[in-house]
Structure 1
């Protein structure tokens, strides 16, 4: 087996097992320890792994984030199912904050309630909301993140601090046993303020977000009430959710019924 073939197999193993040792590479591919070490060095140079004593692990910190349009094309059916279920939690007359997210976008698409007041920092969500009758929209002001289509900054936080809402709908880049994390530090500050302003905090996240850790800690499980997803997370995360009485709703279960 050539090195390029081995490193692909090593990455597949790491995605399933999170860690691989030099001895395991030797046994699995019938190569010497020197060859196994060279494979690890190559993967490290490519930025795909972190070398540790005796082997390698996958980086726990995710650094890549496609722009809004690219993310909108990913796992579309799953996000639609989550968004559709989330929309059933919105009642006539509810006051809402809906954050910028490709999954919360589908919540807005499926909304059929009336007389709602909606606060958002997303220009995409605001454009969808104007097509619905009887919705009062409060668009936060501040600095616009062009690539991802959301407003952030001190002015946005200051404006949000003047409101209270019944329900908060947020997306997240990652969920681990430590809580929610985001690649966008500035928007994390905005969401933290929104959490303080909401009676109920609802997180929308497909299964790919579980086990992923991003740069900035956004919220702990003590800050949220409900997670809507499509698959159950790991036992380790479930244990933490139960500790803080966070409910899980599975969109796929609802679709089957």
Structure 2
């Protein structure tokens, strides 16, 4: 077997088993320890693995987050399904808050309730809501992130002190056993502040977000009331969420309970 073929096979093994040792590489591919080590060095240079004592694991930290347009295209069908389901959680007259998540944008698009007031940090969500009758929009002020089409900063957080809402809809870049995570601290500060001014926190996350961990931890599961997603969760993740009394809503399905 050529080295490139072994490297692909090693990565496939890691995706299923999480860890591989030098000894196991030797056994599986009938190569020497020196060859096994060279394979791991090559994979590490490619950024595909993290070498550990006597073996390797897949990287646990996600570092790449696209701009708004790129995020809008990722898992677009799943986000649309989740957004439609999330919109059904809104009642006539509810006061809402929405972050700059592309999945939350789909919820705003699907909104069919009446007489809602919506506070948002997203210029795209605000634009979508202008097309709907009977909705009053409050746009947070602050610094405009051209890449993510959202407002952030101290001014935005200060403005939140003027509001309190029934429901907060947020997305996330990653969900791991430690909770929600984001690529930068500004996102964390704004989302945490939003949570302080909402009676109910609803997280919208498609299946691709699970198992991802980014640099900044936003909150743990104890800060979430409802999670709307598109696929059944692993037993481990389901148990962690239910232990924190998070209601799990499957878009197109039923809530998951004990």
When normalised by structure 2's length, the TM-score is: 0.95
Partner of 2:26: 26
C-alpha deviation, 1:236, in angstroms: 2.5
C-alpha deviation, 1:103, in angstroms: 0.7
Once residues 16 and 146 of structure 2 are traced to their aligned partners in structure 1, the CA distance between those partners, rounded to angstroms, is 36
Once residues 235 and 133 of structure 1 are traced to their aligned partners in structure 2, the CA distance between those partners, rounded to angstroms, is 42
Partner of 1:197: 197
Partner of 2:61: 61
Once residues 144 and 12 of structure 2 are traced to their aligned partners in structure 1, the CA distance between those partners, rounded to angstroms, is 38
Partner of 1:130: 130
Gaps of 5+ in 2: none
Once residues 161 and 216 of structure 1 are traced to their aligned partners in structure 2, the CA distance between those partners, rounded to angstroms, is 24
Secondary structure in 2 matching 1:253: coil
Secondary structure in 2 matching 1:227: strand
Residues 176-202 of structure 1: per-residue CA shift (max 9 Å, x gap) = 121111112101101101111111100
Residues 215-235 of structure 1: per-residue CA shift (max 9 Å, x gap) = 111111111101011123332
C-alpha deviation, 1:208, in angstroms: 1.3
Once residues 89 and 242 of structure 1 are traced to their aligned partners in structure 2, the CA distance between those partners, rounded to angstroms, is 19
Instruction: Within 5 Å, give how 1:173-188 maps onto structure 2.
Output: 173-188=173-188
Once residues 184 and 95 of structure 1 are traced to their aligned partners in structure 2, the CA distance between those partners, rounded to angstroms, is 28
C-alpha deviation, 1:31, in angstroms: 1.6
Partner of 1:41: 41
Secondary structure in 2 matching 1:96: strand
Partner of 2:144: 144
Once residues 150 and 201 of structure 2 are traced to their aligned partners in structure 1, the CA distance between those partners, rounded to angstroms, is 20
Once residues 17 and 141 of structure 1 are traced to their aligned partners in structure 2, the CA distance between those partners, rounded to angstroms, is 47
C-alpha deviation, 1:34, in angstroms: 1.1
C-alpha deviation, 1:240, in angstroms: 1.8
Partner of 2:170: 170
Partner of 2:210: 210
Partner of 1:244: 244
**Contact 2:22/2:33 (8 A) holds in 1:** yes
Secondary structure in 1 matching 2:118: strand
Instruction: Within 5 Å, give how 1:210-229 maps onto structure 2.
Output: 210-229=210-229
**Contact 2:85/2:252 (8 A) holds in 1:** no
C-alpha deviation, 1:5, in angstroms: 1.8
C-alpha deviation, 1:113, in angstroms: 0.9
Once residues 208 and 75 of structure 2 are traced to their aligned partners in structure 1, the CA distance between those partners, rounded to angstroms, is 9
C-alpha deviation, 1:140, in angstroms: 0.5
Once residues 145 and 48 of structure 1 are traced to their aligned partners in structure 2, the CA distance between those partners, rounded to angstroms, is 30
Gaps of 5+ in 1: none
Partner of 1:83: 83
Once residues 60 and 102 of structure 2 are traced to their aligned partners in structure 1, the CA distance between those partners, rounded to angstroms, is 23
- Between the two proteins, the alignment pairs up a number of residues equal to 254
The two structures, once aligned, show a CA RMSD in angstroms of 1.2
Partner of 2:104: 104
